[in-house]
Amino acid sequence: MELFNPETGLIIWMLIVFLSVLFVLGKYAWPAITGAIAKREQYIANAIRVADEANEKLERIKDERNEILGKAREEQNNILKEVQALKEQLIEEAKTKAKIEAEKMIEDARQSINAEKEQALKEVKNQVARLSVDIAGRVLRKNLEGDEAQLELVNKIFDEVKILNN
């Protein structure tokens, strides 16, 4: 039971050893430990500061990204508006060209119809002239002696003209 009831000399030696260990630790170990803890604390503080700076930078980058996306959307909308306006302009130009072309075709058709009409009238006039000359020749060839013979000849000629026209 000596462990539970130590002698005074043992207590004094234990106290001397304890104080010497405490002195050595206080002189050499505590400053190293507190320095390491201070360095660790400074390292953690720096890491937190760097992380905060990184978060701030990330927020600025997000803001810049949102700003760039907004500008890109705005530019896209402007381009779409320009394309729409160009499309409408091209459609309008195509309509105008088609209308001009249609009017030109109609005018050409009118001119062609008028030319054909004039040609047909010339042919009719030529036929009328030929028929008139033919009729006159027949009238002159036949020797007419009375009014009845003249009426009969005129009716016969009209019948022939009707047959030729049909």
DSSP 3: T
| Degrees to nearest 5, angle at CA 86 with 91 and 77 | 135
Predicted confidence (pLDDT) at residue 66 exceeds the cutoff of 90: yes
Q: What is the pLDDT of residues 133-166, one digit of tens each?
A: 677 666 666 555 566 766 777 777 777 777 766 6
Domain residue spans in the chain?
8-121
Instruction: Supply the mean pLDDT for the chain.
Output: 86
* Tokens, residue 137: 């020749």
What pLDDT shows up at residue 145? Answer: 57
For 85, other C-beta atoms within 10 Å of its C-beta total: 10
- Inform me whether the pLDDT recorded for 2 exceeds 80: no
Amino acid at residue number 2: E
